[in-house]
Amino acid sequence: MTFDRVRAESSAELLAQGRKRLARAVTTTAHDWSPAQQEMLTAVENAPDDIAGVIERLRVVQKILDSLPPSPGTNRVAAFNTLYLTITEKVADSLTTPECTDPEWLETLDVEFARLYFRALGDWGVSGRNPADAWEVLFRRAHDDSMTVMDAAVLGVNAHINHDLALAVIATWERLGFPGDGPQHPDYLLVNRIFYQQIPILRRRFATAWQLEIDRCVGDLDDWSQSILVRATRALAWEQAEILWRLRDDPEDLAQALLVLDRVSACAGETLLNGTSLLRVVWLTLTAWFRGLRRRLRPVAA
């Protein structure tokens, strides 16, 4: 198989233009973590080595974010961080349960996953360093109180799962070996069940009074649809990792594939803010990324 880099470059450019058309105006644009820029850079400077270190770091980051504009406790990135901290604590609890078949593998994945988030935080506002576009969609709106905390949390989940998760899976394979659908895959799916358990609690934590009223009217329907969303996006991330794994020996091809992935995820984030349903965004992400990458992974002519 070979990779059509020219078409990938063209897709990346079209996605960048598409994001500009989709982008919704931001009432207050953040450019860094002021007035706590140095505190944030110090907090994320050294990558954690285990899940306990990840949790400790997330708590430090939470305190910093809660001190930032627009007012104490209302920073929009803080909304995602508190959700991420809750899920990570539940993953840590699961490592010692009979449901987890390979705790080392799942902990390594969690650490690699978190490192990507901390790297994005550390790149924001630093000259010569830029976080992935998928994260920039959220970070630039950190002070934007016209965006609901629910939307902010969803933007963070979009960036972390639709962009970061595949990269974390690859980093885990690089450290521990490529298992395919081997014994570690059920542990990957174990996190889905943690999300299912936490979705109702987390969604209602961020909901407005009007959203809570709607939630009471529809009963379990929202919980069911969002569990489907989690399953679809995390399954996609695993398949994305398998595609990217095939490109790892060609840095230029891999870089172009990653650029397309990032820009698709950024477009998905902007689409969410334009009122498009979550399930439709997942569908757009699935079709755009897979059709694009599979079209470019064409057989070598004999």
Which helix (H) or strand (E) segment is 298 a member of?
strand 297-298
DSSP labels for 160-180?
A: IIIIIIHHHHHHHHHHH---T
Residue 46 CB neighbour total at 10 angstroms:
10
Could you tell me which of 261, 263, 249, 246 has the C-alpha nearest to residue 299? 246
CB of 19 closer than 8 Å to CB of 266: yes
Could you tell me which of 144, 152, 121, 132 has the C-alpha nearest to residue 38? 121
Q: What pLDDT is recorded for position 302?
A: 37
In this structure, what DSSP letter does residue 23 have?
A: P
* Sequence ranges of the domains in the chain: 29-247
Q: What pLDDT is recorded for position 294?
A: 54
Q: How far apart are CA 113 and CA 109, in angstroms?
A: 6
Place of tokens 């009217």: 217
Q: What pLDDT is recorded for position 109?
A: 95
Residue 198 CB neighbour total at 10 angstroms:
17
Instruction: List the chain pLDDT tens, one digit each, 302 residues.
Output: 566 676 777 777 777 777 777 677 777 788 999 999 999 999 999 999 999 999 999 999 999 999 999 988 889 999 999 999 999 999 999 999 999 999 999 999 999 999 999 999 999 999 999 999 999 999 999 999 888 888 898 899 889 999 999 999 999 999 998 876 566 788 888 888 887 776 766 555 554 444 444 445 444 444 434 555 667 778 888 888 988 998 989 998 899 999 989 998 998 888 888 765 544 555 455 555 555 555 555 544 43
Q: How far apart are CA 292 and CA 98, in angstroms?
A: 40
Q: How far apart are CA 120 and CA 239, in angstroms?
A: 23
Q: What pLDDT is recorded for position 245?
A: 92
Q: What pLDDT is recorded for position 97?
A: 94
Mention every residue, 6+ apart, whose C-beta is less than 8 A from residue 29. Answer: 140, 141, 143, 144
